[in-house]
Amino acid sequence: MGFSSGWAMAQTEAEPPSPDSTSRGTYALVAYIGGGMSRFVGTAGSPPGFNTSINRNSPSGTFRLMWHPDHLLRVGIESGWTGFYKYKVQGGTYTAKLNHTATPILIVFSMPVTKRLSLFAGTGTYLVTSYLDYVGKVQSSAFSLGFMASAMYVVPLSERVSLAGEFKWLNARETKDTSLSLQLMAIWKLYQW
Amino acid sequence: MESGKNGKGRWNTAVFVMILWLVVSGCEPKYEAPVPTAAWATFDSPKAVPLNGVSRTFMEGVYTVTDGADQFGEQVALKWSYVTSITDTTYYLSVFCAKDITYFVCAGKKFNNSLIFNGYWRKVINAETGIARFTINDQHGATQLLSGSPQIGKGDIVLEGKWGNGDAVPANSVVFSYLRPLYKSKPLEIVGQRSGGQSSDHLPVAENSIGMIRYASRLGSTGIEMNVRLTSDGIPVLYHDNTLNLSLIQKNGLVGSIEDYSYQQINTFVRLIDGESIPTLNDALNAVVYSTDIRFVVIDTQYIGTLEAVRQLQKEYLQKALDIGRDIQIVIGLPSEDKVNAFLALPDYASAPALCELSMEDVHRTQAVVWGPRWTLGTQDAEVAQIQGEGRKAFVWTLDDPLYVDQFVNQSNFDGILSNYPSVVAYYHYVKQ
């Protein structure tokens, strides 16, 4: 099979091994970079007894580095940034603002299920950060165990570059933050051996 | 080659499905143990009136469980406690069981010639709970208890009761028959951690809250250990964990340490899991002195820094307790070397009561009134005798396993036990002979 058409095929099946039983197929290091919008679907905490307006929509971005071996299961690491929610509170003469965001740091597995559709699942930690502006400003962070799952539809543009749309579920378990995200991804095969 | 390729594909798919399952199974089951709704027409009728102090005192004791032992064990200990408010004092009857770390909390009234009790039971090892109701009729002790000077012996008081599950009307029989008085020969300080109990045990009130301070004696505590942190503006507040987290507080969007936030920010935004505000140490000591029968407090500082603010409040509330005739000990906990150093930096440390968890040498250095070693070091009979010979006390921590509680209560000479399950300590102490 020619190298130039091998990239699309590699999404769906392993490279056939050579007749020599000790040889392997092609390995590749693939980078995914993308961004889009996320919608917070969990319960957004807010202080009791106040008039609060909550914004659940935020931008989000992903960076992922995957190892594509010569079989279906791929593994890699993912990071990025997502806003979960922000709110504004009016109480008496005071206005308070809070912004609640996270940086995921995950180990991710993926598997192509059709020629262009791949599923991803991962676990790791989220660095969750809150930015409070109320009688002073405070930025504080905590780590939260978390998960991620997504489905990605890939459109190859060339031998090394593809575009993809990804629908993603992000869950920081300990802080009970969950969002759904739709992102446009650029995929670049960095290296192959 | 074809079957090898298919085998690889199946293996890959199986592994990926397992990973996906792990992600999905990250969803946590939610446990709750809400206090059952205990409305009882008889108990709530105008004819049911409060019990007097004599009735309450004389019915305290060790009881044999003649019906319901499979659920609550072979014997139980009954003890009254109280909380006060500005207008009222409310008395509660607690029943302490060894089996499954079970306890009952009931209120009691006189109804015609009987004594009636209404409340609930709870097994702390799980989330099982339900309504409990008891009656002492005139042939089984009510007449004696309502007289001015009861003479109570074995079998003279029988509490005939019913228990149920959740909010269901109780229908299962439980009977307690009086055996003997509670053990009172040598007092034991039963110190409930986290101001009485842990939020993770799904108790009716949050840990380290005013609610828990008022609830602690119903759990068997005669003393409590409070965990104290400082806000960014130096206000001591009660909070145990390093970070604001959803096992202790309701969700509010804030993360990180209490120390990152000012008291005003904490008080505005943060609510404990039962909806209460995080109390200041001032509020907490105020509640202990003026609202409860708690007689021992350990202030366990969770932060690194000066103990000045804590010391000032300790002095203030020791004086307040003295002024109203309350016999309370309030000690500063010294669990580590840096806490000892902070304590020794206090200009008046020599007159500041403390509980030192380190060596005997550190006890002498800090002039601590209580030595508090951990239970894993054993009963340490010789060391305990030495400390007591110096006029100090010896408390052991943290005893939670009923097996070891039984051992330490019956075989050691400690003056106090710190536990997350004070009801178990109360049981083994009060049933001693």
Together in a domain, B47 and B160: yes
pLDDT of A148 strictly over 90: yes
Q: Is A16 on the interface with B (CB under 8 A)?
A: yes
Instruction: Measure the CA–CA gap between A17 and A2, rounded to whole angstroms.
Output: 14
Instruction: Measure the CA–CA gap between B21 and B12, rounded to whole angstroms.
Output: 14
Closest CA relative to residue B424, chosen from B226, B192, B108: B192
Closest CA relative to residue B191, chosen from B433, B419, B20, B429: B419
- Mean pLDDT (chain B) is 93
pLDDT at B78: 98
Reduce the secondary structure of chain B to three states and give it as a string: CHHHHHHHHHHHHHHHHHHHHHHHCCCCCCCCCCCCCCCCHHHHCCCEEECCHHHHHHHCEEEEEEECHHHHCCEEEEEEEEEECCCCEEEEEEEEECHHHEEEEEEEEEECCEEEEEEEEEECCCCCEEEEEEEECHHHCHHHHHCCCCCCCCCCCEEEEEECCECCCCCEEEEEEEEECCCCCCCCEEEEHHHHCCHHHCCCCCCCCHHHHHHHHHHCCCEEEEEEEECCCCCEEECCCCCCCCCCECCCCCCCCHHHCCHHHHHHHCCECCCCCCCEHHHHHHHHHHHECCCEEEEEECCCCCCHHHHHHHHHHHHHHHHCCCCCEEEEEECCHHHHHHHHCCCCHHHCCEEECCCHHHHHHHCCCEECCEHHHCCCHHHHHHHHHCCCEEEEECCCCHHHHHHHHHHCCCCEEEECCHHHHHHHHHCCC
Mean pLDDT, residues A174-183? 96
Give the end of a domain, one of B180, B203, B225. Answer: B180
Residues A132, B254: C-beta atoms closer than 8 Å: yes
B16–chain A nearest CA distance, Å? 7
Q: Is B186 on the interface with A (CB under 8 A)?
A: no
Largest Cα separation within chain B, whole Å, is 96
For B308-331, the pLDDT digits (tens) are 999 999 999 999 999 999 999 999
Together in a domain, B293 and B206: yes
Structural domain of B141: 41-180
pLDDT of B410 strictly over 50: yes
As for how many domains chain B has, the answer is 2
User: What amino acid occupies position B330?
Assistant: I
Using the CB atoms, write b or e for B207-234: b if 16+ within 10 Å.
bbbbbbbbbbbbbbbbbbbbbbbbbbee
- Taking the CA atoms of B357, B362, B366 and B367 in sequence, report the sign of the dihedral they define: positive
Give the end of a domain, one of B131, B159, B180. Answer: B180
Together in a domain, B168 and B193: no
Q: Which chain A positions have a beta carbon within 8 Å of B3's beta carbon? A: none
Together in a domain, B76 and B213: no
pLDDT of B176 strictly over 60: yes
pLDDT of B99 strictly over 50: yes
Q: Is B359 on the interface with A (CB under 8 A)?
A: no
pLDDT of A122 strictly over 50: yes
A161–chain B nearest CA distance, Å? 25
DSSP symbols for A45-99:
P--TTSEEEEE-EEEEEEEEEEEE-SSS-EEEEEEEEEEEEEEEEEETTEEEEEE
A-B contacts at Cβ under 8 angstroms: 116
Residues A142, B256: C-beta atoms closer than 8 Å: yes
- CB atoms inside a 10 Å sphere around CB B4: 10
pLDDT at A5: 37
Q: Is A131 on the interface with B (CB under 8 A)?
A: no
Q: Is A149 on the interface with B (CB under 8 A)?
A: yes
In a domain, B21, yes or no: no
Together in a domain, B157 and B220: no
Together in a domain, B280 and B423: yes
Q: Where do we find the tokens 């008081």?
A: B157
Q: Which chain A positions have a beta carbon within 8 Å of B22's beta carbon? A: 121, 123
Together in a domain, B360 and B244: yes
A54–chain B nearest CA distance, Å? 11
For A96-112, the pLDDT digits (tens) are 999 999 999 999 999 99
Using the CB atoms, write b or e for B92-103: b if 16+ within 10 Å.
bbbbbbbbbbbb
Which site among B6, B10, B250, B252 would you substitute to test the A interface, given the most A Cβ atoms closer than 10 Å to its Cβ? B252
Q: Is B14 on the interface with A (CB under 8 A)?
A: no
Q: pLDDT band at residue A4, thresholds of 50, 70 and 90?
A: very low
Q: Is B5 on the interface with A (CB under 8 A)?
A: yes
Together in a domain, B377 and B408: yes
Parse chain A into domains and list their residue ranges: 3-12+26-192
Together in a domain, B142 and B201: no
Q: Would you state the structure tokens that stand for residue B316, as one six-digit string?
A: 């203030």
In a domain, B4, yes or no: no
Q: pLDDT band at residue A6, thresholds of 50, 70 and 90?
A: very low
Instruction: Measure the CA–CA gap between B251 and B244, rounded to whole angstroms.
Output: 9
For B105-148, the pLDDT digits (tens) are 999 999 999 999 999 999 999 989 999 999 999 999 999 999 87
Residues A73, B15: C-beta atoms closer than 8 Å: yes
pLDDT of B1 strictly over 50: no
Q: Is B30 on the interface with A (CB under 8 A)?
A: no
Rounded to 10 degrees, the C-alpha dihedral B47/B48/B52/B56 comes to 150
Span of B18-27, B256-265, B293-302, B375-384 with lowest mean pLDDT: B18-27
For A32-74, the pLDDT digits (tens) are 999 999 999 988 888 877 778 899 999 999 999 999 998 889 9
Give the end of a domain, one of B124, B157, B180. Answer: B180
Instruction: Measure the CA–CA gap between B191 and B393, rounded to whole angstroms.
Output: 14
CATH code, A3-12+26-192:
2.40.160.20
Conformational region of residue B79, where left means phi above 0, alpha means psi within -120 to 50, and beta covers everything else: beta
In a domain, B337, yes or no: yes
